Amino acid sequence: MSQQSVTILGGGNTAFATAANLTLKGFEITLYEISEFAKALDPIQDSGIIHLVGTEEQGAAKIHCITTDIQEALSASDLALLIVPAYAHKPFAEVCAPHLKPDHTVVLMPGTLGSLEWASLLRQQAIEGVTLAEVDTAPYVCRKTAPDTATIWGTVSALGLGVLPASETERVQTQLDPLFPGITSHPTVAACGLAAMNPVVHPAGVLLNAGRVEYSHGEFYFYEEGVTPTVAKVIMAVDAERRAIAKALGYDLPPANEAFHNAGFGPKGDLWATINGSLMLTRLKAPGTLESRWLTEDIPYGLAAWSSVGTQFGVETPILRSIVDIGSIVIGVDGWTSGRGVEELGISGLSLEALHTYLQTGQVP
C-alpha cells in the first residue's frame, strides 16, 4: 500500500470518485474545493467519508484531509489533480497561483487545452517553474449517486497524458502511473487537448436529441438510445475536422471510434458499434436539461477553442462553427466569446515552429 500524498482540486462527480478510489488504494488524499462551492463537501465534512461502489475499489473511503484552504491543500503534496469543468479552470488557476511552487505539478483531468490557459495565466503573474499537464478524458465513467456516494461504472484503460513542457513527460508519466496504471503519453499538451472525446460527442449528440432531452428531462440512455447510426455520422463529421486541426499541427490522431476502443470504452468497430457495445457508456443517462456541461462546457471550451486554433493554422471548420453557432442559441450564451480561443490559450500569433518550441520547452519564443 503506497502512502503517496496527492491533492485533488474539485468537489464534483469525478473528484469524489477519484478521491475515494485512490484513498482505498492506499494514497493519502487531500480534497479541496473553492469556498464558494464548499457545499459540495458538506455531505462528507463531518465524517470525512466518501462511499464508493461500482467496478473499482468499494467501501467507505476515509479522506485524509478535506479543506477549503488552498494553502493547506497545495502544501500537502507537490502533485495536484485538478478535476473540475473547463469553465472552472481559470478560477482555480487564480486561486492556486499565489501558492504554487516550482516543484508543483498540476494535472488537469481532463484539460481540453486548459493547461495552455493555465500557463498563460501563470505567465501573467510571473510565476515560473510549475509543470502543467492534462489528460484527454476523465479516468472513470462515474457519478455521484448520493450526496456522500460515488459510483464508478468503468475505468479508462489507456488514459492519455500531455505535459507542458513536453520535456517533462516521462517524469510526470512515472509520477501518475501508480495512480492510473497504463497511462500513455501524447507528444504535447496540444495533441492531448485535441484528443479529448467529450466535445466530439456531446454537443452534436445533445443538439440532435434536444427535443427528447427537454420532453423527458433526460430520462433516456444517451449513448445507447441517443447516439443512433445517423447521429454517429454527424459526430464523425465533427471528428474529421478535429483530426484535420491536429494534422495541421503535426499530430496523427486516431478517429473517435478507434479512440473510444483504445481507451477501453467499447468493442472495435465503427462509432455506433463501439458505443452501443460499451457496458459503461450505455449506463449513462442524458443530461436533464439543455443547460448542461455537455453544451455549456464542450461548446465554448471544446469546439470553439479547437476552431480558433484551426483558424490560426489555416484549417476550415464549417461543421464545428455551425454547432457552436446553433449551440449558442440553445444555451443563450455566445460560445465564441464565453470560453477560450488562441488569445486565452496564450498562443495567438505564434507560427507553427514557435508553437512547437513553446510546447517542448515551456518558454514562449
The predicted-structure confidence for 219-258, as pLDDT tens digits, reads as follows: 999 999 999 999 999 999 999 999 999 999 999 999 999 9
Closest CA to 67 of 113, 100, 96, 34: 34
Give a yes or no: residue 232 inside a domain. Answer: yes
Give dist(CA 163, CA 359) in Å, integer: 8
Give dist(CA 29, CA 278) in Å, integer: 31
Give a yes or no: residue 358 inside a domain. Answer: no
- CA 14 to chain CA centroid, Å, is 10
Q: Which residue has the cell 488537469?
A: 108
* pLDDT for 42 beyond 50: yes
Give a yes or no: residue 210 inside a domain. Answer: yes
Give a yes or no: residue 354 inside a domain. Answer: no
Where would I find the H helices in 195-265? 198-208, 210-216, 229-248, 256-262
Helices and strands per DSSP (H, E), number in the chain: 17, 12
12 and 134 share one domain: yes
The pLDDT of residue 3 is 59
Cell numbers describing residue 226: 441517443
334 and 206 share one domain: yes
> How many CA atoms are closer than 13 Å to the CA of 12, on its beta-carbon side?
15
Q: Which residue has the higher pLDDT, 354 or 364?
A: 354
Which residues, at least 6 apart from 233, have a Cβ–Cβ distance to it below 8 Å? Answer: none
Give dist(CA 36, CA 254) in Å, integer: 39
Instruction: Tell me what percent of the residues of the chain surpass a pLDDT of 70.
Output: 99
270 and 334 share one domain: yes
Mean pLDDT, residues 200-212: 97
The pLDDT of residue 325 is 98
Query: Which one of 193, 208, 242 terminates a domain?
Result: 193
Closest CA to 258 of 335, 172, 200: 200
Query: Which one of 166, 193, 220 terminates a domain?
Result: 193
Burial class (CB in 10 A: 0-12, 13-18, 19+), 37: middle
Backbone angles phi, psi at 60, to 5 degrees: -90, 115
- Could you tell me the CA-to-CA distances from 283 to 166, 203, 275, 338, 364 in Å, in that order? 36, 19, 11, 31, 44
Mean pLDDT, residues 48-66: 96
Q: Which residue has the higher pLDDT, 38 or 168?
A: 168
118 with 132: CB under 8 angstroms? Answer: yes
- CA 226 to chain CA centroid, Å, is 22
Give a yes or no: residue 88 inside a domain. Answer: yes
Cell numbers describing residue 121: 495565466
Give a yes or no: residue 99 inside a domain. Answer: yes
Where would I find the H helices in the chain? 13-24, 42-45, 70-75, 89-96, 114-124, 169-176, 189-193, 198-208, 210-216, 229-248, 256-262, 271-276, 293-296, 304-312, 318-331, 342-345, 352-361
> Could you report the per-residue pLDDT of 294-335, keeping only the tens digit for each?
999 999 999 999 999 999 999 999 999 999 999 999 999 999
Q: For all residues of the chain together, what is the average pLDDT?
A: 95
182 and 74 share one domain: yes
Rounded CA Rg of the chain: 19
Confidence band, pLDDT 50/70/90 cuts, at residue 157: confident
78 and 149 share one domain: yes
- Provide the domain count of the chain: 2
Angle CA(8)–CA(13)–CA(19) in degrees, nearest 5? Answer: 35
78 and 132 share one domain: yes
Give a yes or no: residue 362 inside a domain. Answer: no
Range of the domain at 317: 198-347
Give a yes or no: residue 98 inside a domain. Answer: yes
23 and 171 share one domain: yes
CATH number at residue 204: 1.10.1040.10
Give dist(CA 66, CA 78) in Å, integer: 17
Query: Which one of 193, 209, 241 terminates a domain?
Result: 193
* pLDDT for 1 beyond 80: no
Cell numbers describing residue 128: 515560473
Q: Which residue has the cell 494534422?
A: 247
269 and 146 share one domain: no
Q: Which residue has the cell 497561483?
A: 97
Give dist(CA 349, CA 346) in Å, integer: 9
| Number of other CB atoms surrounding residue 364 within 10 Å | 14
184 and 246 share one domain: no
CATH number at residue 128: 3.40.50.720
59 and 123 share one domain: yes
202 and 249 share one domain: yes
177 and 296 share one domain: no
Taking the chain, what is the end-to-end CA distance rounded to the nearest angstrom? Answer: 44
* pLDDT for 359 beyond 80: yes
Helix axes 229-248, 318-331, angle to 10 degrees: 120
Stated length of the chain: 365
Instruction: Tell me what percent of the residues of the chain surpass a pLDDT of 90.
Output: 92
Which residues, at least 6 apart from 51, have a Cβ–Cβ distance to it below 8 Å? Answer: 20, 59, 60, 61, 146, 148, 149, 150
Mean pLDDT, residues 59-70: 97
Give dist(CA 128, CA 254) in Å, integer: 34
